[in-house]
Amino acid sequence: MRILHIAPYNTAGVPVTFVKAERELGHHSRLLTLHHDGRGYQEDICLKLPLWQPEIVAKLKKICYPKPRLLQDTGLAQPRQIPPVWKPANQLAGLLLNIRDRMTRPVIEGYIKKYQLDSFDVYQLDGGHGFLKNDDFIPKWHQAGKKVICCYLGSDLRRRGVMPGIDKISDLNLTLEWDHLKLHPNIRHVYFPFDFSGFSIVEPVRREKIRIGHSPTNRAAKGSERIIDAVNKLSQKYPVELALIENLPYPRALELKATCDIGIDQLGKLGYGISALEWLAMGIPAASSIASEMESDGISHPIVPVNEQNIEERLEPLINSRELRIKLGREGRQWLEQNHDAQKIVKQIHQSAGLN
C-alpha cells in the first residue's frame, strides 16, 4: 500500500515514526513536511515552503493575534463549538494566509509532479492540515477515491481546530491526546507511536546527587516553573539536582536525558507526552500528570502520577529508594513496548480505516 503522511512539521518525530513503522510492515510510506521543525528530527520530503519557517510563523502570529491567544498552558480547551473549527483570527491574518497560499501553490504543484504525490492510496494528515490553509488538493484526491485519515497530535485540534474542508471529507479521525475525545464527535484515541530502535535501557549509576530531569518544549505548557520549584525544595532535604534540558538539538537532549535517575514530564490536565516515553524507553522512571479520561478508564500504567499539589510528596519515595527507581524503570519499558509500539498502532489505524 502506498501511504503519504503530510504534516506542517515533523512534530515530536511522530509523523516519521508512523512512516518507519509502515515501511517495516512492508508498505511504501513517505513523509512530506511543509518545513523543518527546528529540533533536528529526521525529515523525508521537506518542501521548505516560504513563510512556513517556525520562527517566521511565530513572528507573524505576534503581529496578527491577540496576546492571550498566543499563551500556552496546561489546562483543557474550552471551545465555543464541537469540534472547534479553524478560521483566521482577523482580516490581517486572513490576508497574509491568502498571500502565503498563493505564493506556495506553484511550488506545491511542482512537488506534486516531481514526486507523483497524487499517486498514493492513503493520505494521513498528521495534524489534520493539508498543503494549504484553504486546501483543495486533498479533497480532490479524496473525490478520486483515495482514503484520507486525520491524526491530531495536540494543540492542532485543541487550539487551532479542524480545517473545515479537510474535516468534511476525512474517512477516519484519530488522536494521540485523551482530552481530544471531548473535542470531536467522531474521533478515536490511539497511543503515541514510539520507535524503540534508538533506545536501550540505561544502567543506573551511583552518584552523589540524584539527577531529576525535566525537558520542556514550552515551559508554560508543561508547568515547568512549578516543577523547578518542587525540585529546588526537595534539594534542601535530599541530595538531588535538577537537569533542565531545553532548547537543544534532539540527539543532544536524549544524551542528557540518559544521565537522569528520574524524569518529570509535565503537570496540568493533559497527561504525559513523548518526553515521559523517552525516559521509560531508557528504563528511567517517569513522573507526569495523567489525563482524567485515562484515569477514569482505569488503565494501568507505571508512570508516577503527579500534580501541582503533590509533586514533592510523590517524588520522595523515588528519591529514597534506588530499588524502586530500578523497578519502575524496568516496568516502564515493558509497558511502553506493550502499549506504544509503533507497528502495533499502525495496524490498529489501518484496521479502523478498513485498509486490512
CB 117 within 8 A of CB 144: no
How many whole angstroms separate alpha carbon 51 and alpha carbon 56?
6
Question: Are residues 223 and 170 located together in one domain of the fold?
Answer: no
Q: For the chain, first and last CA: distance in Å? A: 10
Question: Are residues 313 and 228 located together in one domain of the fold?
Answer: yes
Q: What is the pLDDT of residue 78?
A: 73
Residue 203 lies in a domain: no
Question: Are residues 228 and 290 located together in one domain of the fold?
Answer: yes
Residue 10 lies in a domain: yes
524496568: which residue's cell?
A: 330
Q: What is the pLDDT of residue 198?
A: 84
Which CATH number goes with the domain that contains 172?
Answer: 3.40.50.2000
Residue 51 lies in a domain: yes
Residue 160 lies in a domain: yes
Residue 198 lies in a domain: no
HEC sequence for the chain: CEEEEEECCCHHHHHHHHHHHHHHCCCEEEEEECCCCCCCCCCCEECCCCCCCHHHHHHHHHHHCCHHHHCCCCCCCCCCCCCCECCCCCHHHHHHHHHHHHHHHHHHHHHHHHHCHHHCCEEEEECCCCCCCCCCHHHHHHHCCCEEEEEECCHHHHHHCECHHHHHHCCEEEECCHHHHHCCCCCEECCCCECCCCCCCCCCCCCCCEEEEECCCCHHHHCHHHHHHHHHHHHCCCCEEEEECCCCCHHHHHHHHCCCCEEECCCCCCCCCHHHHHHHHCCCCEEECCCHHHHHCCCCCCCEECCCCCHHHHHHHHHHCHHHHHHHHHHHHHHHHHHCEHHHHHHHHHHHCCCC
Residue 347 lies in a domain: yes
Residue 199 lies in a domain: no
Question: Are residues 31 and 151 located together in one domain of the fold?
Answer: yes
pTM of the predicted protein model: 0.90
Domain enclosing residue 180, as ranges: 2-193+341-352
How many whole angstroms separate alpha carbon 82 and alpha carbon 104?
31
Per-residue pLDDT reduced to its tens digit, 131-174: 999 999 999 999 999 999 999 999 999 999 999 999 999 999 99
Question: Are residues 123 and 83 located together in one domain of the fold?
Answer: yes
Question: Are residues 219 and 187 located together in one domain of the fold?
Answer: no
Copy the grid coordinates of residue 336.
511502553
Question: Are residues 12 and 156 located together in one domain of the fold?
Answer: yes
CB 258 within 8 A of CB 282: yes
Question: Are residues 234 and 88 located together in one domain of the fold?
Answer: no
Q: What is the pLDDT of residue 58?
A: 87
Question: Are residues 153 and 226 located together in one domain of the fold?
Answer: no
Question: Are residues 7 and 131 located together in one domain of the fold?
Answer: yes
Count the domains in the chain. Answer: 2
Question: Are residues 184 and 216 located together in one domain of the fold?
Answer: no
Q: What is the pLDDT of residue 71?
A: 60
Per-residue pLDDT reduced to its tens digit, 316-337: 999 999 999 999 999 999 999 9
Mean pLDDT (the chain) is 94
Phi, psi of 211 (to 5 degrees): -90, 120
From 226, 242, 243, 233, select the one nearest 307 (Cα to Cα): 226
Residue 205 lies in a domain: no
How many whole angstroms separate alpha carbon 320 and alpha carbon 202?
19
Question: Are residues 228 and 326 located together in one domain of the fold?
Answer: yes
Q: What is the pLDDT of residue 343?
A: 97
Using 70 as the pLDDT threshold, list the residues of the chain that sit under it: 67-77
